[in-house]
Structure formats: C-alpha cells, structure tokens
Amino acid sequence: MEDAMGTRDLADAAPSARRKPAQKRSRERLDRILAVASDLIAKRGSDQLKMSEVAEEAGISIGSLYQYFPEKSAVIRALAERYSAQNRRCIEEALTAVTNRDSLSKAYLDLIDQYYAIMLAEPVMRDIWSGMQADKQLAALELAESRACGEMLAAAMRRAHPSADAERISVCAFLIWQLGEAAMRLAISQPRREGDASMEAFKRMTLREILEP
C-alpha cells in the first residue's frame, strides 16, 4: 500500500540512474551530469540532447556517463524526478497549514499560480513536462505524481471538511490534480494571454468542487 506521499509508486514509476552514488564524489559527479544536461536542454531542447555532449561538458568519459545513465531517456527521467521531488516539498509545505475553507482556498490558488509561473519560467521543466506523454516511464511518473499530490490535496480537504465523505474527497482531489496537469500543459502551449485565461477558468471551475465536496 502506498504511503501519503506516494513514494512507492514514485520509486517504481521511473527508475533513472543505473548507478546510485553513495560516496560524496560520486554524488557530486551525478549532480554535475544533471546540471550539464539541464543547461543543454534549456539551450536546445531535450530532443537535441546528446550523451557524448553531456559527457564532454561534464568532463567525464562516455563510459563513465553510461555507468550512471544507460541512455538519454534515463537522464531526462532523473531530471523529471528531481523537479517532481522539489514540487512535492512545496506542495506539502503549502497544504500542511490548511485547517479550514479559507486557508484551503488560499493555499490551492497560490499553488496553481506558483506552479504555472514556474512552468513559464523554467525551460527545462517545460520541455520535459510537455513531452511526458511520449515516454511511458515519464507518463507513469506523472501519474504517480498526480496520485501523491492529489492525496496531499485530499488530506487538506478532509481537514477543511471533516464531515465530508473521505473516499469521495480522495477521488475528487486526484481527478482535479490530474486535470490540472492537462490544463497547465495546454496553457503553456498557448499564447500567454490565452494561457492565463485558461488557468483562471480552471481555478474557478475546480475551486467550487474543492470548497463544496
């Protein structure tokens, strides 16, 4: 059974690095590889990412790179996992303080605005996120993320609505989060004015359900 953060699903969804570094030097090398890959994706997009270029820019041999990542998709999944972990921490922090309808409304709307702003500002996240559906393991990671984040939203909703049906809240929260991923993907693909309008419409539609489960 998965825990509240969905960590088992997340671990199973997208195993990325072949070599899990335990020593400080290995961890630093892994961080350098991912930093280089992130910079290259920001410049040219993930489709143009080349393992030979990552190795050269990171100052390691191609053989050493393959000890950590067997293929390019594994590098991209590792970046997606890192961004997802950061997002979960922000979401958990924002929703932990929710105790009633007013704090739930504010936390939810602030999270949507924050996440949308990050997607607009971070080319690497946007590139990876936009292509998630084309990679089965990335799609599995996204689904697991929606379950984990949806459960955090559900927990906050249950605190704000202690008499509401808990199972119904869980289903509702998961669906809202999954639809939010789709809505945000649409918004960042639109001209900025249209994208902003799409996100405002999504917030209005979902806030009603969140406040009246």
Q: Where are the domains of the chain?
A: 17-68, 79-211
Q: What is the pLDDT of residue 18?
A: 55
The three-state secondary structure class of 71 is coil
Q: What string of DSSP letters covers 93-112?
A: HHHHT--SHHHHHHHHHHHH
**Cβ contact 138:79 at 8 Å:** no
Q: What is the pLDDT of residue 14?
A: 40
| Domain 79-211 falls under CATH 3.40.630 | no
pLDDT at residue 60 above 60? yes
Q: What is the pLDDT of residue 17?
A: 58
Q: How confident is the model at residue 150 (pLDDT cuts 50, 70, 90)?
A: very high
Handedness of CA 202, 205, 206, 207 (dihedral sign): positive
pLDDT at residue 7 above 50? no
Architecture of domain 17-68: Orthogonal Bundle (1.10)
Between 55-59, 62-66, 181-185, the lowest mean confidence (pLDDT) is in 181-185
The residue-averaged pLDDT of 73-91 equals 88
Handedness of CA 27, 33, 34, 39 (dihedral sign): positive
The structure tokens 């950590």 sit at 68
pLDDT at residue 210 above 90? yes
- Residue 6 backbone class (left: φ over 0; alpha: ψ -120 to 50; beta: rest): left
Q: Which long-range contacts link 45-50 to residues 24+ away (Cβ below 8 Å)?
A: 45/127, 46/76, 46/127, 46/128, 46/131, 49/75, 49/76
Between 62-71, 116-125, 169-178, the lowest mean confidence (pLDDT) is in 116-125
The structure tokens 């971070």 sit at 122
Query: Which phi and psi angles does 28 have, rounded to 5°?
Result: -65, -40
More confident residue, 134 or 111: 111
The three-state secondary structure class of 18 is coil
pLDDT at residue 6 above 70? no
| Dist. CA 17–CA 31, nearest whole Å | 12
pLDDT at residue 112 above 60? yes
More confident residue, 204 or 115: 204
Task: Please list, in sequence order, all residues whose beta carbon lies within 8 angstroms of the beta carbon of residue 77, skipping any fewer than 6 positions away.
Answer: 14, 15, 16, 135, 137, 138, 141
In order of 1, 33, 54, 62, 75, the CA distances from 28 in angstroms are 33, 9, 15, 17, 15
Q: What is the pLDDT of residue 75?
A: 92
Burial group, residue 150, by CB count within 10 angstroms (0-12, 13-18, 19+): buried
Q: What is the pLDDT of residue 82?
A: 87
pLDDT at residue 21 above 50? yes
pLDDT at residue 12 above 80? no
Q: How confident is the model at residue 20 (pLDDT cuts 50, 70, 90)?
A: low
